[in-house]
C-alpha cells in the first residue's frame, strides 16, 4: 500500500476543484491510501475534503497562522507531518508551484512537476517541450517523492464520500518571520475561476484593444464562463497577466473552450489541449487554431460575437 498525502488548496471558504483532481491522480496508483491535509483557520474546508470519493482520511490543521496560504509558513508544517507518507502531492497551480519546491527542499527529496500519469509511486509521466513529448521520470529508491499534478489531465473526483476528519494540532516547528501576509491584491470578479471553470472564452490579438475585450466579457457573462487571453493579448495590454492561458500562463481543461481572435501558437495550444470541446473563431482560415478545434468559424469576430450574443438572448 502506498501512503499519499495531498495538500488541499482553498480560499478559506471553498476547496479548489484542483484538489479533487489530485485525488483522481493519486487514486490511479494501485493500493493508494489517500490522506488530504487541510491547513486553514477553521474546519469548514476540511469537511469539504472529507466528502471527496477516494479519500481515506483528512488531517485538519486549524490555526490562525494558516489563515492565509503562505508557502514559507505551510512548508515546515507539511514536513513535520510527512513521516508516514511516501508521496506528497499538490496541484500544479500557482499555489502548488510555490509550495511544493519548498517542501521538497526541506525533505531533501526529489520533485516531479506537472505529473500527468502515475505508473508507480516512484515512476511518473510528465509533458516536456510544450507538451510535444511525454517524458517518463523515475525517482529511484528515494524514501519520499514530492510532486505537482497537472490538474488539466484529470477529472475531479466525485463527492459523496465520508472520510473521517482528524484534528491535528499545528506542528511545533519554527516558522519564518521574514514572510508575512500583508494584503491580497486581486481583481474582483463574479466569473468562475479560470483554472477550474467548466467554460472558458479566450481572446487574442485579433481584438485590437483592451476596450474591444468588452465583447468577450459580455459573451462570458451570457454563458457563465471564465475569461482568458493569449500571451499576445496580454503582452499588448488587452488583458491582465492572470488571464494568460498557455505554456507560460495557466493550463486549463474546461468542458468548453472558445478561442476568439487567437491564431493558435504552440505555446497557447499546450495550455488548452485537454479541453473537451474547442471552438475557434478567426478570420484567417489557415490559422493553426483550426487544426485542433472541434468546431471552427471563419469570419470577423466583431460581427460574429454580437450575433452570438443576440442569439443567446436574455
Q: Tens of pLDDT along 109-130?
A: 999 999 999 999 999 999 988 7
Check whether 77 has a pLDDT greater than 90: yes
**What CATH code is assigned to 199-312?**
3.40.50.1220
- 68 exposed, middle or buried (CB, 10 Å; 0-12, 13-18, 19+)? middle
Signed CA dihedral, 237, 212, 297, 228: sign only: positive
Q: Tens of pLDDT along 15-74?
A: 999 999 999 999 999 999 999 999 999 988 999 999 999 999 999 999 999 999 999 999
Across the chain, what does the average pLDDT equal? Answer: 93
Helices (H), the chain: 17-27, 44-50, 71-81, 94-107, 214-223, 231-235, 266-270, 289-292, 301-312
Query: What's the rounded Cα separation, in Å, for the pair 258 and 203?
Result: 9
Same fold: 2-167 with 199-312: yes
The domain spans of the chain are 2-167, 199-312
* pLDDT value, residue 314: 61
Q: Look up residue 205 and give its three cell numbers.
A: 490579438
**What CATH code is assigned to 2-167?**
3.40.50.620
* pLDDT value, residue 218: 94
* pLDDT value, residue 186: 65
Place of cell 474546508: 45
Amino acid at each position: 500500500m502506498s501512503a499519499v498525502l495531498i495538500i488541499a488548496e482553498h480560499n478559506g471558504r471553498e476547496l479548489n476543484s484542483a484538489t479533487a483532481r489530485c485525488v483522481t491522480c493519486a487514486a490511479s496508483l494501485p493500493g493508494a491510501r489517500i490522506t488530504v491535509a487541510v491547513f486553514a483557520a477553521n474546519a469548514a474546508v476540511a469537511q469539504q475534503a472529507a466528502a471527496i470519493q477516494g479519500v481515506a482520511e483528512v488531517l485538519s490543521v486549524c490555526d490562525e497562522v494558516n489563515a492565509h496560504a503562505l508557502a514559507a509558513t505551510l512548508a515546515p508544517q507539511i514536513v513535520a507531518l510527512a513521516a508516514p507518507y511516501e508521496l506528497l502531492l499538490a496541484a500544479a497551480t500557482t499555489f502548488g508551484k510555490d509550495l511544493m519546491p519548498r517542501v521538497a527542499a526541506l525533505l531533501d527529496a526529489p520533485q516531479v512537476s506537472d505529473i500527468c500519469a502515475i505508473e508507480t509511486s516512484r515512476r511518473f509521466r510528465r509533458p516536456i517541450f510544450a507538451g510535444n513529448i511525454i517524458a517518463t521520470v523515475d525517482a529511484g529508491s528515494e524514501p519520499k517523492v514530492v510532486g505537482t499534478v497537472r490538474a488539466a489531465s484529470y477529472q475531479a473526483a466525485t463527492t459523496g464520500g465520508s472520510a473521517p476528519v482528524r484534528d491535528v494540532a499545528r506542528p511545533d516547528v519554527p516558522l519564518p518571520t521574514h514572510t508575512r501576509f500583508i494584503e491580497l491584491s486581486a481583481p474582483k470578479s463574479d466569473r468562475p475561476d479560470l483554472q477550474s471553470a467548466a467554460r472558458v472564452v479566450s481572446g487574442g490579438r485579433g481584438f485590437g484593444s483592451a476596450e474591444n475585450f468588452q465583447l468577450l466579457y459580455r459573451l462570458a457573462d451570457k454563458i457563465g464562463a471564465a475569461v482568458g487571453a493569449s500571451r499576445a493579448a496580454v503582452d499588448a495590454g488587452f488583458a491582465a497577466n492572470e488571464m494568460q492561458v498557455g505554456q507560460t500562463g495557466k493550463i486549463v481543461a474546461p468542458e468548453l473552450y472558445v478561442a476568439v481572435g487567437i491564431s493558435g501558437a504552440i505555446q497557447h495550444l499546450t495550455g488548452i489541449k485537454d479541453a473537451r470541446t474547442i471552438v475557434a473563431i478567426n478570420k484567417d482560415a489557415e490559422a493553426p487554431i483550426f487544426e485542433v478545434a472541434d468546431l471552427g468559424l471563419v469570419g470577423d469576430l466583431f460581427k460574429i460575437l454580437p450575433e452570438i450574443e443576440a442569439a443567446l438572448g436574455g
